[in-house]
């Protein structure tokens, strides 16, 4: 090039790319490694010097018609006309006042936050975005110009960029200065900018999973005030967004909470002390045997003979309450699998009133199972679910079953996948019902007189989903959540034929059979193979968890838990009592949880659910308040309750780890979670009561707006105590 010759029109775009690559090399080395030598696959970058523009060519057509800058401006204006400051987002509303009814420590703590919010009448009309966007998800990068415009004119706390077409991101390297876009996010500890780049022809399920796994890190900002910006109205991304939205309640129902986690820890420590033998992964040379997974859906009754015939050539795994239905029909399963930790599970099995039947059945139970259950079944083994604290504290992979939650049927499917079964048959996994009175198989506990009323389903709680046999079937939000979790597990069971022999909701990744009779005729599994299979699962060489290891881990857990809760209390106490301050607190707590997940997964799972519950409560409440003074008053209250909960969380966990009671003397074992324990009663007895709405008129005490409800407690003149302790 001669001295006075102008630079080539493409040079400035090449310079931008070089700068971007240098930036990514420093801060996102993975992106640099992928795109440094990247060659575009199905599109090209087109420089338009006369217009001072850059565009993308696909099949010799410009994506932006040669005017990418104007296109971005118009698109941003359209987006902001619908979602901008002052606009209210209608997503998941605040939970109801009486959502948390259990009398245990966590439930009482979080319930008080909701009662504070509902002291005045509330009509939810959405969450107003006053002067910042809490979370924006840019679906599609294009040339990146729309992202550059939005970040300059609006305060975005957190941004996610989702892209599956690597050509588009490669093109953006020429068009925008990524350092200018991202640097402000790096310089402000309250903000973040992250990429979700999924190359390699991923399908829509993988896209959803990749996006979902990042979104849940922003709880409760996602799902409450998350905004999706779908660049160019990409139809695939529209479907991904719809799928994410359809699974929001799956997310909410999977939070877990401290009351349950503490109960599980207490049960597990009893089981370890009782020297229950551990389940170990069987050897890989086991002959592949078909598995029948049996749930308690209503279609089990009419399919029971098909199951009986299949049982001659397959392993029958009964899941939870399905055992009562099998007992009614005279079917003895090869093993019972249990997951639930609550005392109720033990009480319901006792209602069979057939101890010989129960003793004839082998039990595969999660480590957190109520210890009394192991007393009534036959030979037993403990396993660990891999997504809970117990597995990460006490187990190794050989004694864990991946993806074994949230229901017993999930655990059975996960076991089938783990042992390499090539064929699985699903009976009674309906996740729906033909009418409001036929919601489970006959013989199950749901039709017992003492539980019938509690099992009733109201019409207003029903939703309709596609049925396996065609048409639609009624279901509930809870059952739909379980169905989606099952489908997620089935998605991961590559190479396994799964036959749906249930007449309820349609299940993805399964083949529905109107009848399993023809299928069973083709099976030829000798009885000896079944026997060898069971002996491998319940091998005599299995051993319990070593006690010295348990004692050491318990001490470590308390030290680590104390340090973590103290750090959260400090964050909560330092956060400004404002809308923005609380949003930033949620972000910082979320970041602390992400660090904890990397360093101590057990502690992460033990605390995460309860923390999410508290953050969700505060976030939905404060964002639905219009007055800054009301927000400040509420946040002061919320902070006090949250800090008090964190203090109690550590103390109660320490009490369980130091407990030396037998299973027969421990009321955490012998009472369901919806009953108080003696420790809970002591907490209530020590509460300082404050009464509002009280005044004196003409020498008389007048009480207004006071709600009184005492259940199981009386006043002894100084404090509230259990009725049996009254003088």
User: Is the confidence at residue 692, as pLDDT, over 70?
Assistant: no
**Helix, strand or coil for residue 63?**
coil
Tell me what the mean pLDDT of segment 393-408 comes to.
89
User: Is the confidence at residue 707, as pLDDT, over 90?
Assistant: no
Tens-place pLDDT, residues 56-91: 999 999 999 999 999 999 999 999 999 999 999 989
Residues 352, 354, 357, 361, Cα dihedral to 10°: 50
Residue 342 pLDDT class (50, 70, 90 cuts): very high
- 613 Cβ contact partners less than 8 Å away, ≥ 6 residues apart: 106, 110, 255, 257
Report the CATH number of the 276-537 domain.
3.90.1480
Residue 697 corresponds to which tokens in the numbers above? 């008129």
Residue 184 corresponds to which tokens in the numbers above? 């402000």
Distance (Å, whole) CA 65 – CA 636: 54
Tell me what the mean pLDDT of segment 112-119 comes to.
96
What is the pLDDT at residue 453? 52
Radius of gyration of the chain (CA): 29
> 57 - beta bridge partners?
44, 62
Which of the two residues, 41 and 523, has the higher pLDDT score? 41
What is the pLDDT at residue 200? 78
214 class by beta-carbon count within 10 Å (0-12 exposed, 13-18 middle, 19+ buried):
middle
Residue 283 pLDDT class (50, 70, 90 cuts): confident
CA nearest to 197, candidates 169, 216, 174: 169
Instruction: Provide DSSP, 451-494.
Output: HHGGG---GGGEEEEEBTTSSEEEEEHHHHHHHHHHHHHHHH-T
């Amino acid at each position: 090039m001669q001295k006075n010759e102008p630079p080539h029109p493409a040079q400035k775009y090449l310079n931008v790319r070089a700068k971007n690559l240098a930036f990514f090399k420093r801060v996102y080395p993975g992106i640099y490694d992928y795109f440094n030598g990247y060659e575009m696959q199905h599109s090209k970058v087109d420089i338009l010097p006369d217009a001072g523009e850059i565009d993308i060519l696909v099949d010799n057509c410009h994506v932006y018609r040669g005017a990418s800058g104007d296109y971005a401006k118009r698109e941003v204006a359209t987006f902001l006309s619908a979602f901008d400051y002052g606009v209210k987002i209608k997503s998941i509303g605040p939970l109801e006042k009486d959502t948390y009814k259990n009398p245990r420590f966590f439930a009482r703590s979080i319930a008080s936050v909701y009662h504070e919010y509902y002291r005045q009448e509330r009509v939810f009309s959405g969450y107003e975005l006053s002067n910042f966007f809490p979370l924006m998800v840019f679906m599609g990068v294009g040339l990146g110009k729309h992202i550059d415009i939005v970040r300059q004119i609006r305060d975005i706390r957190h941004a996610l960029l989702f892209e599956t077409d690597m050509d588009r991101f490669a093109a953006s390297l020429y068009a925008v200065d990524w350092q200018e876009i991202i640097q402000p996010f790096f310089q402000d500890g309250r903000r973040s900018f992250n990429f979700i780049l999924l190359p390699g022809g991923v399908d829509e399920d993988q896209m959803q999973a990749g996006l979902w796994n990042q979104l849940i890190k922003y709880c409760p900002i996602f799902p409450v005030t998350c905004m999706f910006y779908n660049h160019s109205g990409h139809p695939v991304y529209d479907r991904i967004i719809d799928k994410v939205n359809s699974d929001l309640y799956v997310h909410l129902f999977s939070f877990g909470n401290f009351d349950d986690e503490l109960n599980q820890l207490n049960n597990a420590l009893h089981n370890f002390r009782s020297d229950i033998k551990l389940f170990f992964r069987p050897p890989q040379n086991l002959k592949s045997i078909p598995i029948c997974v049996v749930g308690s859906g209503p279609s089990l009754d009419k399919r029971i003979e098909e199951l009986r015939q299949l049982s001659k050539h397959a392993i029958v795994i009964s899941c939870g309450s399905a055992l009562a239905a099998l007992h009614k029909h005279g079917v003895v399963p090869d093993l019972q699998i249990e997951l639930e930790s609550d005392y109720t599970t033990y009480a319901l099995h006792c209602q069979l009133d057939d101890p010989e039947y129960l003793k004839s059945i082998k039990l595969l139970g999660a480590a957190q199972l109520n210890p009394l259950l192991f007393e009534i079944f036959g030979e037993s083994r403990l396993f660990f679910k891999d997504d809970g604290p117990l597995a990460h504290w006490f187990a190794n992979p050989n004694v864990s079953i991946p993806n074994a939650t949230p229901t017993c049927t999930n655990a059975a499917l996960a076991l089938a996948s783990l042992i390499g079964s090539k064929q699985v048959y699903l009976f009674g996994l309906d996740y729906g019902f033909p009418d409001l009175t036929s919601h489970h198989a006959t013989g199950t506990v749901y039709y017992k007189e003492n539980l019938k009323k509690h099992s009733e389903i109201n019409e207003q709680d029903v939703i309709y989903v596609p049925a396996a046999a065609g048409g639609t079937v009624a279901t509930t939000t809870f059952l739909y959540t379980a169905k989606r979790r099952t489908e997620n597990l089935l998605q991961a069971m590559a190479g396994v034929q799964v036959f749906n022999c249930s007449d309820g909701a349609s299940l993805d990744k399964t083949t529905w059979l109107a009848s399993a009779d023809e299928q069973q005729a083709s099976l030829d599994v000798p009885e000896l193979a079944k026997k060898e299979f069971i002996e491998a699962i319940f091998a005599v060489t299995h051993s319990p968890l070593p006690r010295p290891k348990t004692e050491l881990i318990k001490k470590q857990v308390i030290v680590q838990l104390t340090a973590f809760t103290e750090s959260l209390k400090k964050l909560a106490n330092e956060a400004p009592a404002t809308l923005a301050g609380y949003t930033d607190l949620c972000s910082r707590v979320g970041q602390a949880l992400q660090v904890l997940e990397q360093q101590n997964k057990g502690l992460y799972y033990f605390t995460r659910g309860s923390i999410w519950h508290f953050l969700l409560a505060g976030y939905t409440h404060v964002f639905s308040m219009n007055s800054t003074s009301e927000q400040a008053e509420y946040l002061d209250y919320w902070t006090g309750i949250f800090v008090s909960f964190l203090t109690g969380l550590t103390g109660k966990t320490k009490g369980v780890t130091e407990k030396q009671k037998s299973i027969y003397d421990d009321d955490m074992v012998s009472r369901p979670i919806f009953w108080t324990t003696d420790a809970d009663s002591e907490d209530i007895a020590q509460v300082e009561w404050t009464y509002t709405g009280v005044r004196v008129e003409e020498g008389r005490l007048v009480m207004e707006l006071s709600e009184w409800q005492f259940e199981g407690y009386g006043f002894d003149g100084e404090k509230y105590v259990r009725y049996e302790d009254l003088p």
